């Protein structure tokens, strides 16, 4: 089951903040975030494993609400280099263990203008 | 540079043909994943191998097959190609067998165009 990301696209000015959401209809074991710049391979940002866990990576952080099967990616004080497509990947929870498959959402296109 | 090598970078072929995509994982990584990326489907998980054995299977068509060799490189075979198979095929690698134990390192992809 592919997770659903929202919004589909975001346009920002440098220095503005953004939130990208990822939700699943199934219980999740982990959530992964990747960024892909145009014409390049996806690059890892972070993994979240526990309910309510929040992780940070420079000015990019994320939360994972295990009960709601949702994750949010927070980008603060955006920079031009943040432009790209952000993918969340979800790993389903099978009674406390993993199904072993990382399924990606459709992606959110983030554009940061000067 | 992720350390994952994919060949060929570009491939143009005709419907009905068969192609093989090759992936060399990062040194030391035992898992190899194959993903298909098309405009309308996003990143679709195809299959994962860990140390030569199939570990997880996604939406891989019966016309597609993959394997991982003793030297850990992997090949994705696509046969009876259709126009809809045109896509960017990514290979990724990781150290462990469980996808949640670490990041995936993606190669630059093989762009397949079926005419």
Does A100 score more than 90 pLDDT?
no
What are A40-79's pLDDT values in tens digits?
999 999 899 865 566 666 688 998 988 889 999 999 999 9
Optimal mutation site among A42, A53, A64, interface B, most CBs of chain B within 10 A: A42
Inter-chain Cβ pairs, chain A and chain B, closer than 8 A: 64
| Pairwise CA distance, residues B25 & B7, whole Å | 12
Per the listing, tokens 């990301």 go with A5
Query: CA nearest A41 in B: which residue?
Result: B108
Q: Could you say which DSSP state residue B25 is in?
A: P
Partners of A104 on chain B (C-beta within 8 Å) are 35, 42-45
Give the integer Cα–Cα distance in Å for A85 and A108.
Answer: 5
* In the predicted structure, residue A98 carries a pLDDT above the cut 70: no
- For A:37-96, CB contacts with B below 8 A are 40-44, 47, 49, 87, 89, 91
Whether A102 has its CB under 8 Å from any CB of chain B: the answer is yes
Nearest alpha carbon to residue A107 among B34, B57, B44? B44
Phi, psi of A90 (to 5 degrees): -120, 145
Q: Which residues of A are less than 8 Å from B35 in CB distance?
A: 104
Mean pLDDT value of segment B75-83: 97
What phi and psi, each to the nearest 5 degrees, are found at residue B58?
Answer: -115, -140
The Cα–Cα gap between A92 and A82 comes to 28
Summarize pLDDT for B28-39 with one digit per residue, the tens. Answer: 999 999 999 997
Residue A97: is its pLDDT beyond 70? no
Contact with chain B for residue A111, Cβ under 8 A? no
Chain B: residue whose CA lies nearest to A31: B100
pLDDT, tens digit (0-9, with 9 covering 90-100), for B40-61: 778 999 999 999 999 999 989 9
| Residue B62, phi then psi, degrees to nearest 5 | -65, -25
């Amino acid at each position: 089951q592919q997770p659903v990301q929202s919004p589909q696209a975001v346009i920002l000015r440098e220095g503005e903040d953004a939130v990208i959401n990822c939700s699943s209809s199934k219980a999740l074991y982990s959530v992964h975030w990747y960024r892909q710049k145009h014409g390049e391979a996806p690059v890892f940002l972070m993994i979240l494993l526990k309910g309510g866990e929040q992780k940070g990576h420079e000015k990019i952080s994320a939360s994972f609400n295990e009960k709601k099967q949702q994750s949010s990616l927070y980008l603060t004080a955006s920079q031009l280099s943040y432009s790209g497509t952000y993918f969340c990947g979800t790993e389903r929870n099978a009674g406390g263990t993993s199904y072993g498959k990382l399924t990606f959402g459709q992606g959110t296109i983030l554009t940061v203008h000067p | 540079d992720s350390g994952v090598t994919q060949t060929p970078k570009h491939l143009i072929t005709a419907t009905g043909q068969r192609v093989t995509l090759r992936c060399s994982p990062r040194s030391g990584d035992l898992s190899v994943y194959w993903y298909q990326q098309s405009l309308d489907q996003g990143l679709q998980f195809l299959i994962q191998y860990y140390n030569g054995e199939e570990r997880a299977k996604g939406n891989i068509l019966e016309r597609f097959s993959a394997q991982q060799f003793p030297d850990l490189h992997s090949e994705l075979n696509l046969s009876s190609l259709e126009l809809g198979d045109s896509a960017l095929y990514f290979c990724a690698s990781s150290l462990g067998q469980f996808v949640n134990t670490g990041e995936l390192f993606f190669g630059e992809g093989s762009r397949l165009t079926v005419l």
